[in-house]
Amino acid sequence: MQTLLEQFSHYLTVEKGLARNTVDSYRRDLTIFFAFLEQQGIASPSKVNRNLITSYLLGLKEAGRASSTISRNVASIRSFFTFLVQEDLLEENPSQLVKAPRIEKKLPRVLTTKEVDRLLQQPRSDGQAGQRDKAMLELLYASGIRVTELVSLNLTDFSPEAGFLRCRGKGMKERIVPIGSVAVKCVCEYIGSSRQKMLKRREEKALFLNHHGRRLTRQGFWKILKKYVRQSQLNGEVTPHTLRHSFATHLIENGADLRSVQEMLGHSDISTPQIYTQITRRKIREVYDKTHPRA
């Protein structure tokens, strides 16, 4: 089973082009599932049937696992057996008719434009770190890119003349994202001043540097964001993804079409950004309920 898991992992990485974190997630789920099979005396995938998989999933539910966790396990198990069938290592897929639990989608936290302004005003641009932080926050909200994509940016990915950013999303897929004049100005000021002072090695390609002159990490950005969230006294949890959600919602509120938002966010499925239209509808409903005399 372990050999098959290695082959499956190689398939996900090389042929499907999935990100390392995604592959690791599949591996973790399947490793626990294999341990369950071993307890049942099952040593071969050909001995696995639908009832056995269902029994495993029920065990996860009884253990208090969230519906999202169980659903992810179903996806991992189903993908594994689909791979075995494709490779002619198995005749039938025992997980084909196994149903994943229904997940109730929670609408993401979205900041108002006033809250975004308050957050973006926090970094002091008269210091190296403050100028860098201002550029990062402005760029994150201006482009809607993920924090991983932000810290992965190289100097050559920023095109101020064209007003575009080249970033690498999940599976290292490249996309070009437009950015506004405010973000362009802040990033240019950072490059021309603070980045030059923070730079320790001329060959460093990273756009955003830490105080050691090396590429800033995701964890480093998290700490920076938390500091400014506290300073701006925003209620509730604010994550890097909150700015991404706010970016998309504000675009749709102002008339952007879903297809364009999908392209900018780097989603392969147009159904994913549709969640932001739900947020917009909810806000419209709240306004109606508060203002209409017969609501």
The residues pairing with 166 across neighbouring beta strands, listed in sequence order, are 176
Of 241, 281, 282, 285, the active-site residue reads 241
d(CA 99, CA 102): 9
Of 146, 195, 245, 250, the active-site residue reads 146
d(CA 147, CA 150): 5
Burial environment of residue 289 by CB neighbours within 10 A (0 to 12, 13 to 18, 19 or more): exposed
SS3 content of the chain, % helix, strand, coil (to 5): 60, 5, 35
Q: Tell me the residue type at 16.
A: K
Of 27, 78, 118, 267, the active-site residue reads 267
Nearest CA-CA partner of 153 in 213, 207, 210: 207
User: Which tokens in the block code for residue 94?
Assistant: 């025992």
Query: Are the C-beta atoms of residues 134 and 120 closer than 8 Å to each other?
Result: yes
Residue 170 annotated to the active site: yes
Residue 244 annotated to the active site: yes
Of 65, 109, 170, 214, the active-site residue reads 170
Residue 276 annotated to the active site: yes
Residue 10 annotated to the active site: no
Of 134, 195, 244, 250, the active-site residue reads 244
Nearest CA-CA partner of 39 in 51, 57, 58, 56: 56
User: Which tokens in the block code for residue 61?
Assistant: 């539910």
Query: Are the C-beta atoms of residues 26 and 177 closer than 8 Å to each other?
Result: no
Chain centroid to Cα 1, Å, comes to 31
218-232 and 128-143 helices, crossing angle to 10°: 90
Residue 295's alpha-carbon distances to 167, 258, 288, 291, in angstroms, are 46, 29, 7, 8
Give catalytic residues, as residue numbers: 146, 170, 241, 244, 267, 276
